[in-house]
Amino acid sequence: MGTAIRPLGARAGMAQKGDRNGFPSPARGAKETRAQTLTPPLSPPRGARGQDLETPIVFEALNAQPPDSLLGLIKAYNSDGRTGKIDLGVGVYRDAHGNTPVLKAVKAAERILLDTQDTKKYLGPEGDAGFSAGLQPIIFGDAHPLAGRIAALQTPGGTGALRLGAELIRAANADAAVRVGTPTWPNHTPIFAAAGLKIVAHRFADLATQAVDFEAVRQGLASASPGDVVLLHGCCHNPTGVDFSRAQWKEIAETLKARKLIPFVDLAYQGLGDGLEEDARATRLVLETVDEALVAYSCDKNFGLYRDRVGALYVVARDSGETAKVMSNLAALARVAWSMPPDHGAAVVRIILERPDLVAMWREELDVMRARINGNRAALAAADPALAFIRDQRGLFSNLAMTKPQAVALRDRHAIYCADSGRINLAGMQPADAGAIVAALKAEGCL
């Protein structure tokens, strides 16, 4: 017989006098101990619906979840034997050789870390405070006006920052809705939903025109209630590459302030669009305008640290008193989620940021990544006038208007891999591939 778990409701007072494993039975009403909780009952209990509780049935209730379609795409690409295959599906930066190498600045910092780290003792839920402080001038500017108003905490990647921010919102105002422009990164909505928040979507961009649908954004914000949260991509929008203009950001910031809406800026690609300073401008403009805000930051792309899971959550509060309260809540929420974040990648970023020579090396490598992405954008735009918009978009991704059968046909007939949604990663191509990509898009009626 298996080790059946005592059913809920089989409390201590119901136990027999002693059991077959020799554990003593408590007196009626005595406090149940852990040992007794794990003790198998003498006869198989039956649940409320009469089922045999010795048969594990809990997981039977689960629905199978669809696999990540991009992982399937990677597998299919790897097993495709055709020469000249092109991978526009992958979600990471690739160099001219198709590799995603460890940055030289990261390698140098890792060597320093290896030589100098003398303990692995716990850091605490805030993680590496030097890391989250070191990033602040890069994100907020050297002389930002937010001193004393920022609660900062290291997180497992940008994903961890988004989830922790969502939990903070839920703790502060469970009725808050999260306003999300679509299309967006497919993980955004599930992250906020998993934290128990309501999501209200509005259209952000129209793939047919490849432009922001600003009227839809205006309406989305106009229908929001005070205290609602507005998710904004700080730069390099994923999946469209379409970003708001400066004038649109200004209007959004003023609307947020006037309507008492809380911006949640997702800044996952700083430096991969127009430059570190340029890519932070929209975030800074919003933060200068509003009283309260959240910023989820990822170092996984701009430092190439993907699997090391390096991110931070910054929460801007009204004054230093509220900032301290926010910080204590963030620490408590992190404690029950992951206790403390993984150290290695954040320590590497901190070491880079502490040393001017490594900062210079990292900036140079970031410049190379950005130049390659924008060079590929220019090559694809030049290959056909109908793709001219790609030159003006920013970041790793653009989203071509196509149907799923068209995306499948690009794969099957032309060995060009992109997401079923039509999202392409510009770092997955070489400039010389532009002609073949355009020919395939035309053959499948995508252009």
Ligand X SMILES: Cc1ncc(COP(=O)(O)O)c(C=O)c1O
- What are the tokens at 26? 């408590």
Quote the least distance from Cβ 329 to ligand X, whole Å.
21
Pick from 401, 399, 387: nearest CA to 434: 387
Residue 301: active-site member? yes
Q: Which stretch binds ligand X (CB under 6 A): 152-160, 218-226, 348-356, 421-429?
A: 152-160
Pick from 441, 316, 327: nearest CA to 390: 441
For strands 205-206 and 397-399, give the pairing: unpaired
The smaller minimum CB distance to ligand X, of residues 271 and 311, is found at 311
SS3 220: helix
The smaller minimum CB distance to ligand X, of residues 265 and 429, is found at 265
Q: CA–CA distance from 405 to each of 57, 77, 388, 415 (Å)?
A: 39, 17, 24, 14
The smaller minimum CB distance to ligand X, of residues 295 and 327, is found at 295
Q: Which of 224, 301, 312, 347 is catalytic?
A: 301
The smaller minimum CB distance to ligand X, of residues 134 and 341, is found at 341
- Terminal Cα-to-Cα distance of the chain (whole angstroms): 65
The smaller minimum CB distance to ligand X, of residues 185 and 244, is found at 185
What does the per-residue mask of binding to ligand X show for 286-325, with x meaning CB under 6 A?
------------x-x----------x--------------
The smaller minimum CB distance to ligand X, of residues 270 and 374, is found at 270
Kindly state whether residue 157 participates in binding ligand X, applying the rule CB under 6 A.
yes
Query: Which member of 125, 127, 158, 181 binds ligand X (CB under 6 A)?
Result: 158
CA torsion sign for 208, 210, 211, 212 is: positive
Kindly state whether residue 399 participates in binding ligand X, applying the rule CB under 6 A.
no
Q: 70-99: which residues touch ligand X (CB under 6 A)? A: 91
Q: Which of 185, 296, 381, 420 is catalytic?
A: 185
Ranked by CB distance to ligand X, the top (closest) residue is 157
The site for ligand X, by CB under 6 A, has a size of 12
- Distance between CA atoms of 205 and 182, rounded to whole angstroms? 7
Residue position matching structure tokens 């619906």: 49
- Helix, strand, coil abundance in the chain, percent, nearest 5: 45, 15, 40
Residue 247: active-site member? no
Q: CA–CA distance from 291 to each of 127, 180, 316, 325, 400 (Å)?
A: 26, 20, 7, 15, 37
Q: CA–CA distance from 62 to each of 18, 59, 65, 117, 413 (Å)?
A: 36, 5, 9, 44, 37
Q: Which of 151, 268, 346, 419 is catalytic?
A: 268
Asked if residue 4 lies in contact with residue 40, where contact means CB atoms within 8 angstroms, the answer is yes
Query: Which member of 185, 244, 249, 264 binds ligand X (CB under 6 A)?
Result: 185
What does the per-residue mask of binding to ligand X show for 238-277, with x meaning CB under 6 A?
x---------------------------x-x---------
Kindly state whether residue 232 participates in binding ligand X, applying the rule CB under 6 A.
no
Which positions touch ligand X (CB under 6 A)? Answer: 91, 157-159, 185, 233, 238, 266, 268, 298, 300, 311
Give catalytic residues, as residue numbers: 185, 266, 268, 301
